[in-house]
Amino acid sequence: MTQHSNEPPGAGATTLVANRETLERLFIRPENAEARAALIKYMEQILFGLHDFLGRHVGITQEASLKSLSERFVNTRISEHPARKLSDVIDALIEEIAPHAVNVASPYFIGHMTSAIPYFMVHLATIVAALNQNPVKLETSKVVSLHERQVLARVHRLVYGRSDAFYDLHVQRPESALGCFVEDGTLANMTALWVARNRLLSSADGMAAVETDGMAAALSARGIRRLVALVSRLGHYSLGKSAGVLGIGNKNVLPVPVDMENRMDLRALVRMLDDLSRTEPETRVLAIVGIAGATETGTVDPLPAIADICQKRGIHFHVDAAWGGPSLVSEKYRHLLAGIERADSVTIDGHKQFYMPMSCGMIYFSDPSAMDAVAYHARYINRIGSVDLGIRSLVGSRAATSLALGGALDIMGARGYALLIDHGIELARALAAEIRRRPMFQLITPPSLNILTYRLAPPELARRLARSAPADRPPVNAAINQINIDLQRLQREAGRSFVSRTTLATPWGETAVLRAVIMNPFTDMAILNEILDEQEAIYRDELME
Ligand SMILES: Cc1ncc(COP(=O)(O)O)c(C=O)c1O
């Protein structure tokens, strides 16, 4: 047999055996003192081991090619007998996996929406795992389902700010659902479109319903040829994926142009809607999606105006606030999301700006009966009239993430979270000012919240671009694009800091930009200056011709 490098040391000559006695020792057994000691011992090994490791390992990731790493993970057999003890597995994860994973907790990691988390999240996640509740049904969660409804109502109140009487009525009412937990933002967006689709094509009018009779029957009964959803061209790709799964078709998620500030262009939106009703009377608009914190630019669409348009035309208004939603905790900046309270549905991700570990998607509805459109019952669980949220969630079995979010809201308070939000927004503004100040850089999209994009544009090329006639710009812009593509890769490979990259449409054409997401509380202006300095140095030393 070939000896693979990812085989544990001594594999083959192992003395570990799987038998009833060793198996019993592996299960959580509250009555057993030895089991309790083991639980504590290994938890310490994990926490202290990781802590020491993170102390030693301050960069983003260790230098090793993906190819060389992939060669370590080619053994596809499950060993017949146990290959490693838990302590060895923990050591291996800390010593062999962690160094080559990505240190998203580094304050120099400002490229994605994943960052450092407060330490108590690890403890809360441990409780979620240890209790192993399954909120799909009351019989495997009991009080956890009630607690979950309360946590959902707390976040619903943050978004919609309804009256005490509203929440008193709906918080524990079996017939009401203020929202539900799903796996992630993708499934939250999918739930929003699922509800919108089923409400539009329900059996209430006596015709075929999409959920029971299928899309073809529901559309033909109404003389509809296609459904479309409109979102700015900066919409997250999960909307297209959702439209694919829901039988709408991802090409029927129509991209609305954006204005100079990367917000949905309202005139273009109205023109598209008018054109559709004039030229395609058999097309129905399923939903308009406003973004509160676009993935690439962090921009917020003009939500109040979109709400007016949806209201006037009777269209479902969904707000994708997967990123920006938690900004509502900030007294100073919640006005940036004004209009969100008029949405029919809102997506928010706990694993983004509520700083939770992966993953915690949430979908909220203005109408507590909206989710009836996607209710499913089963004889063995989720019986009619039950308070289970599993009746309405797209996900079946799932972790009780509400325990972690509820705990986090208590520990942080709105003020605690607001400190994080304010820090991100204010530091992003300071970074934008610094980028404007430096001759080597161009700010491409200023921050609305805490995301911005920019690029390194050597002054000589920037001047040439500004002076060229439109027809002569593409090659100059392409040269600047290449510099930024190479720069981002070289900085990532150097492993000290990380900024991400995307491509935006700008007046110069398709433009490669560097994207900064500021959410780590330990990122400060000194670190951001170091990152910009490093980018200038990489350009000077490795890219300048
Ligand atoms: C605006 C927006 N919506 C939806 C999503 C999808 O979230 P998830 O990755 O949790 O599925 C993202 C992810 O980045 C996002 O930025």
Cis peptide upstream of residue 65 (ω within 30 degrees of 0): no
Say whether both 462 and 434 belong to one domain. yes
Q: Say if 168 falls within a structural domain.
A: no
Say whether both 202 and 348 belong to one domain. yes
Say whether both 342 and 449 belong to one domain. no
The domain spanning residue 473 has which CATH number? Answer: 3.90.1150.170
Q: Say if 172 falls within a structural domain.
A: no
- In short, whether 141's Cβ falls inside 6 Å of ligand 1 is no
**Which atom from ligand 1 is nearest to the alpha carbon of 292?**
1
Looking at residue 492, its pLDDT comes to 94
Tokens encoding 95 = 């010593």
Looking at residue 51, its pLDDT comes to 82
Say whether both 389 and 496 belong to one domain. no
Nearest Cα residue to atom 5 of ligand 1: 185
Please state whether beta strands 316-320 and 345-349 pair in parallel, antiparallel, or not at all (unpaired): parallel
Mean of per-residue pLDDT scores for the chain: 93
Looking at residue 56, its pLDDT comes to 74
- In short, whether 272's Cβ falls inside 6 Å of ligand 1 is no
CA distance 276 to 324: 30
Q: Say if 155 falls within a structural domain.
A: no
Say whether both 528 and 446 belong to one domain. yes
Looking at residue 61, its pLDDT comes to 79
Boundary (domain end) residue, out of 84, 103, 122? 103
Q: What is the pTM of this model?
A: 0.95
- Please state the rounded mean pLDDT for residues 25-29: 86
CA distance 228 to 249: 8
Say whether both 453 and 371 belong to one domain. no
**Helix %, strand %, coil % of the chain (to 5):** 50, 15, 35
Q: Say if 139 falls within a structural domain.
A: no
Q: Is residue 115 pLDDT above 80, yes or no?
A: yes
CA 50 from centre of chain: 25
Q: Say if 162 falls within a structural domain.
A: no
Nearest Cα residue to atom 14 of ligand 1: 295
Q: Which residues contact 536 (CB under 8 A, 6 or more apart)?
A: 438, 440, 456
Structure confidence by residue, pLDDT tens digits, 347-390: 999 999 999 999 999 999 999 999 999 998 766 666 666 777 78
Looking at residue 35, its pLDDT comes to 86
Say whether both 445 and 479 belong to one domain. yes
Tokens encoding 243 = 């439209």
Structure confidence by residue, pLDDT tens digits, 278-293: 999 999 999 999 999 9
Q: Is residue 3 pLDDT above 50, yes or no?
A: no
- DSSP H helices in 394-524: 401-437, 459-467, 473-494
The domain spanning residue 241 has which CATH number? Answer: 3.40.640.10
Looking at residue 359, its pLDDT comes to 95
- Please state the rounded mean pLDDT for residues 196-209: 96
Q: Say if 14 falls within a structural domain.
A: no
Question: How far, in Å, from the CA of 190 to the mean position of ligand 1?
Answer: 11
- Please state the rounded mean pLDDT for residues 36-60: 84
Which residue carries 């309790």 as its tokens? 36
Say whether both 384 and 472 belong to one domain. no
Q: Is residue 12 pLDDT above 70, yes or no?
A: no
Q: Is residue 496 pLDDT above 70, yes or no?
A: yes
The domain spanning residue 62 has which CATH number? Answer: 1.20.1650
- In short, whether 361's Cβ falls inside 6 Å of ligand 1 is yes
- In short, whether 185's Cβ falls inside 6 Å of ligand 1 is yes
Number of domains in the chain: 3
- In short, whether 238's Cβ falls inside 6 Å of ligand 1 is yes
Lowest model confidence (mean pLDDT) among 40-44, 109-113, 297-301: 40-44
Nearest Cα residue to atom 16 of ligand 1: 295
- Please state the rounded mean pLDDT for residues 265-271: 98
Looking at residue 1, its pLDDT comes to 32
Tokens encoding 542 = 């490795």
- DSSP H helices in 438-472: 459-467
pLDDT higher at 391 or 282: 282
- Please state the rounded mean pLDDT for residues 107-120: 95
Domain interval for residue 533: 415-543
- In short, whether 451's Cβ falls inside 6 Å of ligand 1 is no
Say whether both 425 and 384 belong to one domain. no
Structure confidence by residue, pLDDT tens digits, 302-332: 999 999 999 999 999 999 999 999 999 999 9
Say whether both 389 and 500 belong to one domain. no
pLDDT tier for residue 13 given thresholds of 50, 70 and 90: low
Looking at residue 58, its pLDDT comes to 67
Q: Say if 29 falls within a structural domain.
A: yes
Q: How far is CA 335 from CA 182, 302, 303, 304, 410, in A?
A: 27, 12, 11, 11, 24
pLDDT tier for residue 63 given thresholds of 50, 70 and 90: confident
- DSSP H helices in 26-163: 33-56, 66-71, 86-92, 120-131, 143-160
- Asked whether 511 and 503 are in contact (CB, 8 A), the reply is yes
Q: Say if 492 falls within a structural domain.
A: yes
Say whether both 85 and 208 belong to one domain. no
pLDDT tier for residue 48 given thresholds of 50, 70 and 90: confident
Q: Is residue 473 pLDDT above 60, yes or no?
A: yes
Say whether both 445 and 359 belong to one domain. no
Q: Which residues contact 423 (CB under 8 A, 6 or more apart)?
A: 518, 521
Nearest Cα residue to atom 4 of ligand 1: 185
Boundary (domain end) residue, out of 103, 131, 159? 103
Question: How far, in Å, from the CA of 323 to the mean position of ligand 1?
Answer: 7
CA distance 221 to 201: 10
Q: Is residue 181 pLDDT above 50, yes or no?
A: yes
Tell me the percentage of the chain whose pLDDT exceeds 70.
96
Q: Is residue 10 pLDDT above 70, yes or no?
A: no
Boundary (domain end) residue, out of 332, 361, 395? 395
Lowest model confidence (mean pLDDT) among 96-100, 189-193, 421-425: 96-100
Tokens encoding 285 = 């608009």
- Asked whether 60 and 102 are in contact (CB, 8 A), the reply is yes
